[in-house]
Amino acid sequence: MMSHTLPTLPYAYDALEPYFDARTMEIHHTKHHQTYVDKLNAALKGHEALQDKSAEALLKDLNAIPETIRTAVRNHGGGHANHAFWWPMLKKDIAFSGPVADAISKRFGSYEKFRETFSSTAALLFGSGWTWLVLDQGKLEIVATPNQDNPVSQGKTPVLGIDVWEHAYYLKYQNRRPDYIGAFFNVVNWDRVNDMYSAAK
Amino acid sequence: MDREINQGMINRRQFLWTALAGSVAVAADISVFPQVSKASPPSALPPLPYAQNALEPYISAETMSYHYGKHHAAYVNNLNTLIKGTEFENESLEYIIMNASGGIFNNAAQTWNHAFYWNSLKPKGGGAPAGVLAEAIRSDFGSVDEFKKSFSQKAATLFGSGWVWLVKDKNRKLTIESTGNAGNPLTAGLMPLLTCDVWEHAYYIDYRNARAKYIEAYWNLVDWDFASINLAA
B125 pLDDT exceeds 50? Answer: yes
pLDDT tens for residues B197-212?
999 999 999 999 999 9
Whether this model's ipTM surpasses 0.90 comes out as yes
Phi/psi zone of residue A25: left (φ > 0), alpha (ψ -120 to 50 degrees), beta?
alpha
Interface mutation vs chain B, best among A163, A165, A166, A173, most B CBs within 10 Å: A166
Q: Computed from CA positions of residues B191, B35, B113, B29, in that sequence, does the dihedral angle turn out positive or negative?
A: negative
Cβ <8 Å between B66 and A147 = no
What distances in angstroms separate CA A196 from CA A33, A56, A160, A201, one per listed residue? 21, 14, 8, 9
Q: Where does A22-152 have alpha helices with state H?
A: 22-27, 34-44, 48-51, 55-60, 67-72, 78-86, 98-108, 111-124
Rounded to an integer, what is the distance from CA B102 to the centroid of its chain?
19
Q: Does residue B163 have a pLDDT over 70?
A: yes
Q: Confirm or reject contact between A30 and chain B (CB < 8 A).
A: no
Å from A195 to nearest chain B CA?
Answer: 30
Q: How close A124 gets to chain B, by Cα (Å)? A: 9
Q: Which residues of A touch B181 (CB under 8 A)?
A: 126-127
Whether the CB of A165 is below 8 Å from some CB of chain B: the reply is yes
DSSP secondary structure, B40-88, as one string: ----SPPPPSS-TTTTTTTS-HHHHHHIIIIIIHHHHHHHHHHHTTSTT
pLDDT at B61 over 60: yes
Closest Cα partner for B46 from B60, B61, B38, B35?
B35
- For residue A182, which of A16, A19, A17, A24 has the smallest C-alpha distance? A19
Among chain A residues, the shortest Cα distance to B157 is held by A72
Across the interface, whether the CB atoms of A31 and B200 are under 8 A apart is answered no
Contact between A126 and B181 using a beta-carbon 8 Å cutoff: yes
Confidence of residue B4 (pLDDT cuts 50, 70, 90): very low
**Tens-level pLDDT at each residue, chain A (201 residues):** 579 999 999 999 999 999 999 999 999 999 999 999 999 999 999 999 999 999 999 999 999 999 999 999 999 999 999 999 999 999 999 999 999 999 999 999 999 999 999 999 999 999 999 999 999 999 999 999 999 999 999 999 999 999 999 999 999 999 999 999 999 999 999 999 999 999 998
- Is B200–A170 a contact, with Cβ atoms under 8 angstroms apart? yes
Tell me if chain B has a CB within 8 Å of the CB of A166.
yes
Quick check: B160 and A128 CB within 8 A? yes
Q: Do B71 and A165 touch (CB under 8 A)?
A: no
Closest-CA distance of chain A to residue B196, Å: 16
Half-sphere exposure of residue A62: CA atoms within 13 angstroms, side-chain side: 20
For the beta carbon of residue A81, count every other beta carbon within 10 angstroms.
25
Q: Residue B208 is nearest to which of A27, A147, A148, comparing CB atoms? A: A27
Coil, strand or helix at B89: coil
Using DSSP bridges, classify how beta strands A139-146 and A129-136 pair: parallel, antiparallel or unpaired: antiparallel
Q: With contact defined as beta carbons under 8 Å apart, do B157 and B198 qualify?
A: no
Q: Smallest Cα–Cα separation from B117: which of B202, B210, B21, B213?
A: B202
